[in-house]
Structure 1
């Protein structure tokens, strides 16, 4: 069964507003929520970047039944895997009998360099993620853990606050090598936009929930939506590995000076005001193999998407 979710964008909204959007999305009938984990926004115009684990406490208190996931955290540099294990376990415990999904990945330099650590190449980050997942899962057993690995040391650590059910660790992947690792160590798959490597993940034995974020902007006209994305999320049009490698919002702003509104119109962001286009967009992700599909509304007007989906989109998937 496919579930349709809603994105809580930490890069654009104050934590109290995110809690309110969570409440509205649950009332509208979304099946789950996914919240991003960033230290910085991509560009300064986005304007926010609250600590996700604090925000989740507010979301847990303000909602009743909706499932929640973090899509995604990088428990490799800025967050030591032992700290991540405690944070995610506490969040999962607060959601009690609801599903809590822990999305993890290799991260971006934008967020991970802030403590002065070296930003290693992707192959090393992938090794770090493998070891981090091992540490997290060991701690989630509730046993005392000592771990002396290549990248991490943990001594006499024991988590006393644990959820009744261990949350699935869903690993993000954009290439075949990472998808293979995700299949080996994870409990699910996480992606922004339908990535074909979900087929690799499945072929390598991957199982569990498969998440796909679809970026969009609902406005009265397509031109207005394109303008909003161009102002707030121009980084969507950056090519290649820039999103992983640039270190500051200022550098992203410099890079996006090359982006024009025409590039936004040709990007993966859906800017149509027609509900059928949103239905079709979700169906394409489902057809690509995803069972948890969640749109993201770019811009201040979160209610525009919530209300359109309540009335016109979600009934097609109920």
Structure 2
């Protein structure tokens, strides 16, 4: 059975609101919740960027059942991997085993703030491979030294580690990233319902097969529910037109001003062609279930914008889950 999740979109809501949404999403029956981990919103109009790890610590205490995940954290520039290992272990203990550490090679938007420049894709992927090795070693609770091409760890130990460790889910976008990360990750993360990613992952030697032994393929899709199509489309265009750039663009632009410039000619109709907008739950179900058809085991919805978040959770999220589960049966 497909698992359906709710996204805590830190770029569009404040921290107290996000904790409240997390509680309500759990009450409604979502299977898991994912949080973005950003230093900046994509667009100025979004207006928020609270610290994901403080947020998730609060959510871990405000919920009791729903699984939690970062979607995703870059453990190579803004955070040193040794620090990520420590906070992931702490969060897993607070969440009593409900946390999965989602990792990726990052975006310039968030990582440039520490003044270390922005490496090429190949370099970022090599850094992520080293970071994963460091995190895995530290999650044993043993004293760790590491000398790599990009990172050094000296006599480090994470003192509070969960008995069963922390599962690592890694974001991939093509054949090269799948080949590098499938053997060292527990789960796949991707934002497109691309069946070839799942197939390629399962074909890599040493990879845990999706759908076997608990391995998951975890997708995410933006939606914009609102009482009418026009208002939904307006919100989606204001808040999420950056999404039209595609990952190769989104990974490299450094500021919200850059995203505003890059998307100045994206129209509301362009956005509505890619994001289901309005009250039609069946249209949303069709888009979400494309991930199941592509072989994904999990998919999280992003309700775009804060404007209709309360109303979405009060009126639409429950019926949407019912329809998704009926379509999945």
Contact 1:139 1:145 (8 Å CA) reproduced: yes
Match of residue 216 from structure 1: 223
Counterpart CA distance in 2 for 1:67 and 1:233 is: 26
2:282 to 276, 279, 285: 276
Q: 2-side partners of 1:206 and 1:127: how far apart?
A: 21
Instruction: Report the counterpart of residue 76 of structure 2 in structure 1.
Output: 76
Tell me, in whole angstroms, the C-alpha distance in 1 between the residues paired with 2:278 and 2:46. 21
Q: Which runs of 5+ in 1 are unaligned?
A: none
Q: Secondary structure at the match of 2:225?
A: coil
Alignment of 1:1-318 (within 5 A): 1-96=1-96, 98-196=97-195, 197-204=197-204, 205-207=207-209, 208-239=215-246, 241-267=248-274, 269-300=275-306, 301-306=308-313, 307-314=315-322, 316-317=324-325
Counting matched residue pairs gives 316
Which structure 2 residue ranges, 5 or more long, are not aligned? 210-214
Distance 1:176 1:305, change over 3 A: farther
Q: CA RMSD in A?
A: 1.4
Residue 212 (structure 2) aligns with: none
Question: 2:227, 2:278 within 8 Å by CA — same for their partners in 1?
Answer: no
Judged with a 3 Å threshold, the aligned counterparts in structure 2 of structure 1 residues 30 and 76 are, in CA distance, closer, same or farther, namely same
> Displacement of 1:316 after TM fit?
4.2
2:29 & 2:132 partners in 1: Cα distance? 33
Offset at 1:238?
1.6
Give the 3 Å change call, closer, same or farther, for CA 304–192 of structure 1 in structure 2: farther
- Cα distance change of structure 1 residues 78 and 316 upon mapping to structure 2, 3 Å threshold: closer
Indicate how the Cα distance of structure 1 residues 150 and 312 shifts in structure 2: closer, same or farther if over 3 A, else same: closer
What SS is found at the alignment partner of 1:69?
strand
SS in 1 for 2:296: coil
Which stretches of structure 1, 4 residues or longer, exceed 4 Å deviation after superposition?
none
Distance 1:47 1:240 in 2: 21
1:57 positional shift = 1.2
Distance 2:199 2:45 in 1: 36
For residues 143 and 64 of structure 1, the distance between their equivalents in structure 2, rounded to whole angstroms, comes to 30
Shift of the 153–287 alpha-carbon distance from structure 1 to 2, 3 Å rule, reads: same
Looking at structure 1, the residues matched to 203 and 276 of structure 2 have their Cα atoms a distance apart, in angstroms, of 30
Q: CA 1:304–1:191 in structure 2 vs 1: closer, same or farther (change >3 Å)?
A: farther
TM superposition shift of 1:281: 2.2
TM-score scaled to structure 1, two decimals?
0.96
Offset of 1:309 from its aligned partner? Answer: 2.5
Equivalent pair of 2:192/2:220 in contact (CA under 8 Å): yes
Aligned 8 A contact 2:19 2:59 in 1: yes
Q: Report the Cα distance in structure 2 between the residues aligned to 1:39 and 1:245, rounded to whole angstroms.
A: 15
Relative distance call for 1:86 and 1:316 in structure 2 (3 A) is same
Give how far 1:315 is off. Answer: 5.4
Alpha-carbon distance in 1 for matches of 2:135, 2:186: 13
Which deviates more, 283-292 or 15-24? Answer: 283-292
Alpha-carbon distance, 1:312 to partner: 3.9
